[in-house]
Amino acid sequence: MTISQTISDFVTLAIKAGGWMEMDRIYLQNRVLAMIGEAVFKPSEIRSVARSSIELMDELVACALSNQQIGDSQAEREIFEAQLMDFLTPPPSVVNAFFAQHYANDPKEATDYFFELCRQNDYIKTRAIAKNIVFPVDTEYGEIEITINLSKPEKDPKQIAQEGAAASVDYPKCMLCLENEGYQGRVNYPARTNHRIIRMNLDNEAWGFQYSPYAYYNEHSIFLSLDHRPMKINLQTFARLLQIIEVMPHYFVGSNADLPIVGGSILSHDHYQGGRHTFAMAKAPIEQRFSLTGFPDVAAGIVKWPMSVIRLQAKNKQKLAAACQYVLAQWQQYSDPSVSINAFSEDGTPHHTVTPIARKQGELFEMDLVLRDNNVSEEHPDGIFHPHQEVQHIKKENIGLIEVMGLAVLPPRLAPELEEVTAYLLDQPNQIAAYHIPWADAIKAQYPECNAENVSQILRNALGEVFTQVLTHAGVFKRDQTGQAAFARFIATL
């Protein structure tokens, strides 16, 4: 196939995406021709396109590389790819208009449109996401999910050198700012030319809705304030979360906690995460119900989960938001030194917050409030309610919103390391990391029947057990007799 035919097919997809008309074909062909360093467009067929936009993009990039239009660094290639895929992406005003048209029919139709657009234009990195190792594990708390995150490409030495020489720039202020929409990117900042944001009005504030480029679950979404301000959990947070699920009842939405250690990776920009996925925590039952003082219309209960979770339900979202604020306010002031729970340091630094997750259950609005405490101690310098030292060979990063709900996001180092653990379990030559040996020895003792046929499943089960332990460490009220008695004392204050 000629490069001109590739361009013709690519332009056909660009017109189909809705940002251009057939009258624009020659103009688009010439724009792409110049980008890839070709001088002549040869006669080509206008036809139905069977190949994917990603395949066509690859051919165009290969031509540009051959013609020395771009260098071979990862950053230069990604910037060029995003510029090409911008042709397949209507302008923000048009994308928002299409979204509104679809939404008038059905909210799901609107998100389906936007999700498919972001897949087709390679903003959602489907090929990279497919590299992730993902599997379920049955536990006493239901079927949790394990992900070894291999999607984000590692930087090559050339790019690291270029980043070191690059000038410091504070635009956009962060990865979540509106200014990312259409931003070309640079050697030390990701390309966003093909990025679009759906505008939303939440609680009389300007917000945006986008998808995550490196999704951890189906339709992994980000809802972001158009004002660059720090994360904060308060009454407005609860009101916005409930408004989002009212607007998009087929999605869940939640917020990372707003304190270090127990919070997410970006605390500098107020944002939430949502999507179309049902996590194990959402399926977990209420194991004890209780009444919430002053809120007779709000049902309350404790969820059977390794972390400490209070679930509230109501038909009225304003009453539910107020109830959430009441629980948060009580928790922010609550201390129980007998179980290492302290609301404040001696200097007045606050240590208590929640990780809230909202969803719609029929006519009911539902909010899970996961109690969080970010205190540290001499025994647990990384955090008393953070993965403890004995599980950090698997997971030592913050336990954020996604992990809280039952999806482990494990570091890429584990992919090769677990291959060595497998060899160790099978008494084969290996280079197992020293910090995995106690765990591997415990697996051997627990599964003396381990062999080549069952070792993979045994290792997956063992990872599930570790992740369950991680969540248990992060739980403020442990699920033993002492912890549950302490939880009952807190519930009594509500």
What pLDDT does residue 162 have?
58
CB 400 within 8 A of CB 275: no
Question: Among 376, 368, 375, 374, which Cα is nearest to 401's?
Answer: 368
Going by pLDDT thresholds of 50, 70 and 90, the confidence category of residue 164 is low
What pLDDT does residue 266 have?
83
What pLDDT does residue 483 have?
97
Q: Mean of the pLDDT values across residues 433-437?
A: 97
Residue 488's SS3 state is: helix
Q: Mean of the pLDDT values across residues 381-399?
A: 94
Listed range (168-172, 201-205, 398-402, 473-477) with the worst mean pLDDT: 168-172
Residue 155 or 171, more confident? 171
Share of residues in the chain with pLDDT > 90 (%) = 93
Going by pLDDT thresholds of 50, 70 and 90, the confidence category of residue 422 is very high
Residue 170 has pLDDT above 80, yes or no: yes
CB 365 within 8 A of CB 318: no
Q: What is the pLDDT of residues 266-319, one digit of tens each?
A: 889 999 999 999 999 999 999 999 999 999 999 999 999 999 999 999 999 999
From residue 303, alpha-carbon distances to 37, 162, 266, 317, 408 in Å are 60, 50, 28, 20, 19
What pLDDT does residue 265 have?
75
From residue 171, alpha-carbon distances to 70, 77, 159, 185 in Å are 23, 21, 20, 10
Q: What is the pLDDT of residues 447-474, one digit of tens each?
A: 999 999 999 999 999 999 999 999 999 9
Q: What is the pLDDT of residues 202-257, one digit of tens each?
A: 989 999 999 999 999 999 999 999 999 999 999 999 999 999 999 999 999 999 99
Q: How far apart are CA 165 and CA 6, in angstroms?
A: 36
What pLDDT does residue 158 have?
53
Residue 152 has pLDDT above 90, yes or no: no
DSSP state of 436: G
Going by pLDDT thresholds of 50, 70 and 90, the confidence category of residue 493 is very high
Question: Among 418, 427, 419, 434, which Cα is nearest to 450's?
Answer: 427
Residue 264 has pLDDT above 90, yes or no: no
What pLDDT does residue 1 have?
82
What pLDDT does residue 131 have?
94
Q: Mean of the pLDDT values across residues 15-41?
A: 97
Residue 379 has pLDDT above 60, yes or no: yes
Q: Tell me the residue ranges of DSSP E strands in 151-256.
A: 198-202, 205-211, 221-225, 252-254
What pLDDT does residue 203 have?
86
Q: What is the mean pLDDT of the chain?
A: 95
Q: How far apart are CA 382 and CA 171, in angstroms?
A: 32
Copy the structure tokens of residue 460. Answer: 């997956």
Residue 163 has pLDDT above 60, yes or no: no
What pLDDT does residue 267 have?
87
Residue 2 has pLDDT above 80, yes or no: yes
Q: What is the pLDDT of residues 71-118, one digit of tens each?
A: 988 899 999 999 999 999 999 999 999 999 999 999 999 999 999 999
DSSP state of 284: P
Q: What is the pLDDT of residues 352-374, one digit of tens each?
A: 999 999 999 999 999 999 999 99
Q: How far apart are CA 229 and CA 240, in angstroms?
A: 16
CB 391 within 8 A of CB 410: no
